[in-house]
Amino acid sequence: MGDWHQDIVIKNVSNEELEEVASQVLDYLVAEEIISREMSDNVLGSERGYCPGKSWQKAVRYPEESHFLELLTNGLDVIKRRNIFYADGREFEAINCPNCGANNLNCDWGELFGQWLEDPTSAELECVSCEQSNSISKYVFEPTWALSNLGFIFWNWPTFKDSFLTELQELTGKNVLKVEGKL
C-alpha cells in the first residue's frame, strides 16, 4: 500500500524570516487544532512529528476519511532547510518557464537541482523560447515539485481543501504550493 504525503511548501521565504514564518504557520495550525503541540515518532525521515489535532477535519476535503488516525505514520514534519519537495516516482511532463510558459523539459534539471541545493544563486536556467534566465526554483513543474527552504509534510492525511491552502497563503503573504507523492 505505501505511505503518501502532501507537502505544503511556502515559497520565497528568506533565511532571515524562516523561523518567523514557520512559527506563524505552526501557531495557526495549533490554534485551529488542526495539529497538536504533542509530538511522536509518526513521520518518515525525521525523528518526531506533530500529531493530528482534534479539529484536523477543518483542513481536509473528506473529513470522513479518519482511518489515517490509526496509522503509525500520520504526523506533520516541518522542513526548515533548502529542500526539493517532490512527487515520488513520477516523471516530469513539463518544466515551464515562469515568464512565457514554454516547456524546458530537455534541460539538465538534475544538475540544476544539485546546484540549487548547494547555492541557489548558481542554479539559473535560460528559457529555450524567451531566452530569459531564472532560478530553477521559479520554474513550474508538472507534476508539481517545489524548491524551497520551508515545507510542511503531512503523512497519510486526507486530501486538503483548496480553502486551507488559501488560508495559509493569506496568513504568510507568500506563494503556497501543494506537492503530493506516494512511497
For residue 162, give every residue at least 6 positions away whose Cβ sits within 8 Å of its Cβ, in sequence order, or none.
none
pLDDT beyond 80 at 90: no
How does pLDDT run across 42-56, given as a tens digit for each residue? 999 888 999 999 999
Check if the beta carbon of residue 73 is closer than 8 Å to that of residue 51. Answer: no
pTM of this prediction?
Answer: 0.93
pLDDT beyond 90 at 1: no
Q: What is the mean pLDDT of residues 85-106?
A: 92
Q: pLDDT class for 88, splitting at 50, 70, 90?
A: confident
CA end-to-end span of the chain, whole Å? 9
Check if the beta carbon of residue 139 is closer than 8 Å to that of residue 101. Answer: no
- The β-bridge partners of 179 are 7
Helix (H, G, I), strand (E, B) or coil at 49: strand
Domain ranges of the chain: 4-81+149-182, 94-142
Helix (H, G, I), strand (E, B) or coil at 30: helix
pLDDT beyond 90 at 126: yes
Question: Could you give the count of Cα atoms lying within 13 Å of 168 in the half-sphere of its Cβ?
Answer: 27
